[in-house]
Structure 1
Amino acid sequence: MSATTNVLFVCLGNICRSPMAEAVMRHLVKQEGLEEAIKVDSAGTGDWHLGHPPHEGTRKLLDHHGITYEGMTARQVNGGDFNGFDYIVCMDAKNLKDAKAVFQAASDRNGAEGDPAVFTFMELLPGHGISDVPDPYYSGNFEEVYELVEAGCKALLGRIRAEKNL
């Protein structure tokens, strides 16, 4: 992988959870002055919202916290993402399974040195007692998701700093 550390957040439609995580992580990275060292993106496993901006609930919450989402539009995860990212963080177990299927179909490397770390977001927050980030598209609870996303992104930034000596 390159000197730049690349992070990809993955959810179902790429309009609620993963763009929220992308925006929060970018905000934290900027606060730490690490914009040149860490790049952040997001994608969805589904194609329903391609080209759309983040969901209104996500936008309102990010606005409330003074976090920009400018220029962000939904895209679908693809096989090339496996080789382009160091950390691929999936919002739930189904997203993880679906993303791995896309990567497996596009790669025969399967466990080669230099492969990205692919895991669920809640692995960053083991003490929370849940395995998946709830989908606010269905629950409407964007605030709960924001609290998880903020805590998880802080944990991920700490992990990256430690693993990459930043």
Structure 2
Amino acid sequence: MIQVLFVCLGNICRSPMAEALFRHQVKQAGLAHVIAIDSAGTGDWHIGHPPHQGTRDILDKNQIDYKGMQARQVTSDDFVQFTYIVAMDESNVRNLAGFAPAPVAGEKRASIHKLLDFAPGRTNKDVPDPYYTGNFQEVYEMVEESCARLLAFIIEKEQLS
């Protein structure tokens, strides 16, 4: 099973949006039986909370299911459990380092990426946090495009076609 973890700061806006969108795209591609998706935050403020109302509104508008999603914090186990960890911005990437367990010889680790690395042509490689900006539509469009390209990357890399 290929496992993908989306990470942002609080796990209520960007990463659950990416989780829900990517799960929808994976299901549409007929790959839900081989790709599992989750999300987490580097902070612990919102553990157990549903996605932010702005995230829920934009997902509802686009008929993307987020049922049952609750915020959680990144753990050291995530680095071994997941195949790909996809962060929303450079700050998330730096914060992930604080959760990474000490290396173990021969242990396979998740590869870490930024989501907008999968959006060629974008000069800014950080997904802005709509918790602060309120720009949920703009973030949705970035995440949707990048998730589609991430899925194509995984299909090719993991030879799923």
**CA-to-partner distance for each residue in 1:48-84, whole Å, 9 max, x for gaps?**
0000000000000000000000000000001000001
Q: Percent identity?
A: 53
CA RMSD of aligned residues (A): 1.2
2:150 to 153, 156, 160: 156
- Give the partner amino acid of 2:123: G
- TM superposition shift of 1:113: 6.5
Aligned position for 1:132: 126
Relative to total residues, which structure has the larger helix share, 1 or 2?
1
TM-score, normalising length: structure 1: 0.93
Distance between the aligned counterparts of 2:115 and 2:137, measured in 1?
Answer: 17
Unaligned 5+ segments in structure 1 are: none
Aligned position for 1:97: 94
Task: After TM superposition, list the pairs within 5 Å mapping 1:70-149 onto structure 2.
Answer: 70-103=67-100, 106-109=101-104, 114-149=108-143
Verify the 8 A CA contact 1:9 1:19 in the aligned structure 2: yes
Verify the 8 A CA contact 1:79 1:107 in the aligned structure 2: no
Verify the 8 A CA contact 1:53 1:72 in the aligned structure 2: yes
Q: Which moved more, 1:66-75 or 1:93-102?
A: 93-102
Unaligned 5+ segments in structure 2 are: none
2:42 to 31, 41, 45: 45
TM-score, normalising length: structure 2: 0.96
